[in-house]
């Protein structure tokens, strides 16, 4: 067992190393580093490689062209400064030790190529030159207009009733089913009974991260695994949402984690990412797979540069109107509509929407934070817009996964009446009904960076955990660093299937 896991971890490390080496081409991108990282200076004379963190043996830095990426050893393991990887405590020589020359492995830079439509075929691959073409060459007239309502962050008392008013049970799709949305959940302050209700109602539950930490785009593989797979595990453990229903990911602050985040998506069996924003453009972009180069400018500067075959990107097209009144924004609540009344907000949304509806019918994504719902006129304007869409025969509010299912095998408006994947009658959701009365847990919480203990309240239909769940301890067991998603997987992290099993939880 010890041998298997140690080797698997080394394997993971080597894989990651090669996937991060091309970050050099993004060198000009200056990122906000947190203090710890600023203080660590890569020893230039030693080149690329792993270096002990002077503060703790549980972490190490991976230097790529003089740039330090902070990594944590998986639970129970320590960084060995001689062999330069994480291993069992008894075997680890904690550093930093006097400089020993390290082998610097150079790997060829394998950047994604330009879209080759002859090689890229649905259902596995979708690309075109500027990303604006309708799949399967459907005519816009016969293409359904998809609207993706997405909500980011914690779900709790501040927003839950507002979200329920959007999904009020009266608004229907053309097939008579209730309209649906997608929730990208972050952990802190979330209410897991409410999340379970949303999942049971047929909305899609996806992950943002546990901690919403800043600067995650510059962190290493373990950090992304801890945030994403940890969040998936929390949803399973406290909302009964099965890991194989959690297909999607959105990076906090729309800062994708370069190739590292997409490697995690690939290794742990996610289907799509929705973190990449598209600058304002006259014709909106359809979702595409990451087999090839992304077909538009990367605004964040931290998009993946390698090919990730079959992984879908559901981009955030910029919202704007022709006059640029209100500016342009990926999140609806980032446009400046605060001095608009409800009618004006409605008119603004309509004009923005018509750029899709009267052109290429690209899915109209409406990404929200709680903020939108804190301003009455914005909320009212949204309700006016949603009611107006009910008068149109070809507008569908579906989850991101339902939209992708359609894209892989497009159907015309006429064929959608009995289209099974968008039907609500034939299937029930996997997430069971939540309890009527949840456990209201008051839990102690110590942020790793501070020594002050705090209390967090968490509601769930499950038993209260010992402490507030957090990075490295998604069950709230009280044993920091208990989680280990990497060195236990049978096939190593390269195997999506085993990654999926890991996410499903240990029990
Ligand atoms: C919850 O409440 C509803 C209505 O009051 C009731 O029909 C249902 O049986 C209750 N469910 C549970 C699990 O107690
Ligand atoms: C906790 O933090 C305070 C300041 O934030 C410091 O003065 C104190 O020494 C710390 N205590 C421990 C046990 O680290
Ligand atoms: C979670 O779901 C399983 C079935 O999927 C069910 O047996 C179990 O009772 C559920 N647990 C809670 C606390 O709702």
> What pLDDT is recorded for position 49?
72
On whether the CB atoms of residues 345 and 337 are closer than 8 A, the answer is yes
Which ligand 1 atom is the nearest neighbour of the CA of 436? 1
Q: What is the per-residue pLDDT across 389-402, written as a single tens digit (0 to 9) for each?
A: 999 999 999 999 99
Q: Which residue has the higher pLDDT, 219 or 44?
A: 219
> What pLDDT is recorded for position 28?
26
The verdict on whether omega for the bond into residue 4 sits within 30 degrees of 0, i.e. cis, is no
140-422: CATH class: alpha beta
How far apart are the CA of 466 and the centre of ligand 2, in A? 24
CA pair distance 198, 167, nearest whole angstrom: 10
Query: Which ligand is nearest to the Cα of residue 449, counting in written order?
Result: 2
On whether the CB atoms of residues 84 and 66 are closer than 8 A, the answer is no
Which ligand 1 atom is the nearest neighbour of the CA of 435? 13
Which ligand 3 atom is the nearest neighbour of the CA of 462? 13
Asked whether the predicted pLDDT for residue 106 surpasses 50, the reply is no
Find the mean pLDDT for residues 26-42.
44
On whether the CB atoms of residues 138 and 144 are closer than 8 A, the answer is no
Q: Which residue puts its alpha carbon closest to atom 6 of ligand 3?
A: 432
Same fold, 37-97 and 140-422: no
Number of Cβ within 10 Å of residue 44's Cβ equals: 9
Residue 160 corresponds to which tokens in the numbers above?
A: 């839950």
CATH architecture of 37-97: Beta Complex (2.170)
Locate the domains of the chain by residue range.
37-97, 140-422, 435-484
Residue among 237, 432, 435, 504 whose CB has most ligand 3 atoms within 8 A, to mutate: 432
pTM flag (> 0.85)? no
How far apart are the CA of 450 and the centre of ligand 2, in A? 8
- Does the C-beta of 436 come closer than 6 Å to ligand 1? yes
Residue among 436, 437, 439, 461 whose CB has most ligand 1 atoms within 8 A, to mutate: 436
3-state SS track over 142-183: HCCEEEEEEEECCCCCCCHHHHHHHCCCCCECCCCCECCEEE
In angstroms, the first-to-last Cα distance of the chain is 18
Find the mean pLDDT for residues 196-209.
97
Query: Which ligand is nearest to the Cα of residue 196, counting in written order?
Result: 3
Task: Count CA atoms within 13 Å of residue 89 on its CB side.
Answer: 4
On whether the CB atoms of residues 73 and 222 are closer than 8 A, the answer is yes
Find the mean pLDDT for residues 1-11.
36
* pLDDT interval class at 33 (50, 70, 90): very low
Burial class (CB in 10 A: 0-12, 13-18, 19+), 176: exposed
Q: What is the per-residue pLDDT across 450-470, written as a single tens digit (0 to 9) for each?
A: 788 899 999 999 999 999 999
Number of Cβ within 10 Å of residue 142's Cβ equals: 15
Find the mean pLDDT for residues 37-44.
71
Residues in the chain, overall count = 507
CA pair distance 378, 398, nearest whole angstrom: 22
Asked whether the predicted pLDDT for residue 36 surpasses 60, the reply is no
For residue 326, give every residue at least 6 positions away whose Cβ sits within 8 Å of its Cβ, in sequence order, or none: 320, 335, 336, 337, 340, 348
- Does the C-beta of 25 come closer than 6 Å to ligand 1? no
Can you say how many angstroms the Cα of residue 71 is from the centroid of all Cα atoms in its chain? 20
Helix (H) or strand (E) run with residue 498 in it: helix 496-503
Q: Which residue puts its alpha carbon closest to atom 2 of ligand 1?
A: 436
């Amino acid at each position: 067992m010890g041998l298997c896991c140690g080797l698997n971890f080394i394997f993971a490390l080597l894989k990651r190393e090669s996937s991060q080496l091309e970050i050099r081409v993004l060198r000009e991108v200056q990122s906000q580093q947190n203090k710890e990282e600023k203080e660590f200076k890569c020893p230039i004379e030693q080149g690329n490689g792993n270096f002990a963190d002077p503060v703790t043996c549980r972490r190490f830095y991976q230097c790529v062209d003089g740039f330090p990426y902070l990594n944590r050893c998986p639970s129970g393991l320590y960084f060995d400064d001689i062999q330069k990887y994480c291993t069992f405590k008894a075997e680890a020589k904690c550093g930093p030790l006097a400089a020993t020359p390290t082998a610097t492995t150079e790997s060829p830079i394998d950047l994604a190529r330009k879209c080759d439509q002859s090689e890229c075929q649905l259902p596995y691959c979708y690309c075109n030159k500027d990303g604006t073409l309708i799949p399967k060459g459907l005519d816009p007239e016969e293409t359904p207009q998809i609207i993706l309502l997405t909500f980011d962050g914690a779900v709790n008392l501040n927003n839950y009733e507002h979200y329920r008013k959007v999904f009020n049970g009266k608004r229907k799709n053309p097939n008579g089913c209730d309209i649906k949305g997608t929730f990208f959940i972050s952990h802190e302050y979330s209410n897991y009974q409410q999340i379970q209700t949303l999942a049971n109602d047929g909305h899609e539950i996806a992950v943002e991260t546990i901690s919403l930490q800043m600067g995650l785009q510059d962190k290493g593989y373990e950090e992304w695994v801890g945030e994403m797979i940890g969040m998936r595990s929390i949803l399973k453990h406290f909302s009964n949402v099965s890991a194989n229903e959690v297909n999607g990911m959105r990076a906090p602050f729309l800062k994708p984690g370069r190739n590292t985040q997409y490697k995690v998506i690939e290794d742990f069996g996610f289907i799509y990412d929705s973190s990449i924003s598209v600058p304002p453009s006259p014709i909106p972009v359809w979702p595409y797979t990451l087999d090839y180069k992304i077909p538009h400018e990367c605004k964040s500067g931290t998009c993946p540069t390698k090919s990730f075959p079959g992984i879908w990107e559901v981009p955030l097209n910029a919202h704007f109107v022709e006059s640029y009144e209100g500016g342009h924004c990926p999140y609806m609540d980032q446009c400046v509509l605060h001095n608009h009344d409800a009618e004006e907000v409605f008119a603004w949304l309509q004009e923005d929407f018509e750029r899709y509806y009267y052109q290429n019918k690209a899915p109209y994504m409406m990404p929200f934070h709680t903020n939108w719902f804190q301003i009455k006129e914005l909320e009212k304007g949204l309700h006016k817009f949603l009611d107006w869409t009910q008068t149109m025969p070809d507008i569908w509010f579906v989850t991101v996964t339902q939209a992708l299912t359609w894209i892989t095998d497009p159907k015309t408006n006429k064929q959608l009446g009995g289209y099974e994947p968008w039907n609500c009658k034939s299937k029930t959701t996997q997430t069971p009904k939540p309890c009527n009365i949840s456990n209201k847990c008051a839990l102690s919480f110590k942020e790793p960076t501070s020594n002050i203990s705090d209390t967090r309240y968490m509601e769930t239909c499950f038993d209260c955990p010992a402490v507030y769940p957090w990075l490295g301890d998604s069950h709230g067991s009280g044993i920091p660093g208990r989680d280990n998603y990497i060195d236990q997987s049978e096939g190593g992290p390269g195997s999506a299937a085993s990654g999926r099993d890991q996410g499903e939880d240990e029990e």
